[in-house]
Amino acid sequence: MTTNAEIQTALPALASGNVAVITGAASGIGLAAAKRLAAMGMKIVLADIGGARLDEARHAVAAIAGESAVLAVATDVSKADELDRLAERTFGAFGDVSLLMNNAGVGNNPGKPWENREAWKQLLDINFWGVIHGVEAFAPRMLAAGKPGLIVNTGSKQGITTPPGNLAYNVSKAGVKTYTEGLAHALRNEPGANVAAHLLIPGFTFTGLTEGATEKPAGAWTGEQVIDFMLASVLRGDFYILCPDNEATRSMDEKRMAWAIGDIIENRPALSRWHPDYKEAFAAFMK
């Protein structure tokens, strides 16, 4: 595990007393981030849909950071005005923000490409637009402050290799990947800017999103492992925070991604990895 001292010496954005805003903070990866950053002495703003889980998360984080260092704000990231309100509450309570984690996400599968438009829109409004709403609400003030800042958006391997199963989720996370790449480029070309963007790409992680499992599957990482890997990656200066898990190694992910982009280069059918004619070729490629 990377120590807090190592991280905070190299990354002034994460200094004790600085402010971190985390969406989707009532559960899973977001809650693990909140607890770890609280243990580093940061002030924490927890944003999630309201209710008992958000209250419980606030209690848990306050037990680490102290009551006065935690703010919980019921926020629906699919609504731009709620992110604006979150920003007002945050800047009013704590002042400048140095870490924004746009992490809220849902996995409800709306089904086929031509069905359930409203459910498709809802998923995209949360997973994709939620990230943009967060950046719009916080980035201008983070830039204006002129201080070191980080924006971490949570994508997914499903937004890169786009496996069949939940197309709307894949589309949303492919959008987050492209948006965050463009955000990183825009930030590094902004005169005087000291804010960097990163794409968090968790592997299989045991959280509220892991359907059906009551205890951690052997192949999954915990949220805490993801956050430790995230901090170590940001420390190295990595834009792509490509997390392995207990099943997928980095080299397996590299091959899967190479095969996916190879569909275009080799003029194979879309998603050839799951096409019966390419089963053997893909298996051989992975060896």
Ligand X SMILES: NC(=O)c1ccc[n+]([C@@H]2O[C@H](COP(=O)([O-])OP(=O)(O)OC[C@H]3O[C@@H](n4cnc5c(N)ncnc54)[C@H](O)[C@@H]3O)[C@@H](O)[C@H]2O)c1
Q: Which residues have a Cβ under 8 Å from the Cβ of 39 and sit 6 or more positions away?
A: 4, 64, 65
Q: Given the rule CB under 6 A, which of 25-33, 61-69, 227-235, 277-285 is the region that contacts ligand X?
A: 25-33
DSSP H helices, the chain, are 4-10, 28-39, 52-65, 80-94, 117-127, 129-145, 167-188, 223-236, 250-265, 279-286
Q: Shortest Cβ distance from residue 207 to ligand X (Å)?
A: 3
- Among 19, 29, 45, 124, the residue binding ligand X under the rule CB under 6 A is 29
- Among 14, 20, 22, 26, the residue binding ligand X under the rule CB under 6 A is 26
- Among 204, 239, 240, 282, the residue binding ligand X under the rule CB under 6 A is 204
Residue count of the chain: 287
Asked if 169 is an active-site residue, the reply is yes
- Among 20, 37, 70, 77, the residue binding ligand X under the rule CB under 6 A is 77
Which residues are 200's β-sheet partners?
154, 241
Q: Shortest Cβ distance from residue 154 to ligand X (Å)?
A: 4
Distances (CA, A) of 272 to 218, 267, 286: 28, 10, 14
Q: Given the rule CB under 6 A, which of 12-20, 62-70, 184-192, 206-214 is the region that contacts ligand X?
A: 206-214
Q: Identify the sign of the CA torsion 57, 70, 38, 246.
A: positive
- Among 41, 163, 208, 262, the residue binding ligand X under the rule CB under 6 A is 208
Q: Is 225 in the site for ligand X (CB under 6 A)?
A: no
Q: Of 39, 72, 36, which is closest to residue 54 (Cα–Cα)?
A: 72
- The residues that are catalytic are 169
Q: Which residues bind ligand X (CB under 6 A)?
A: 23-24, 26-30, 48-49, 75-78, 103-106, 126, 154, 156, 202, 204-205, 207-210, 223
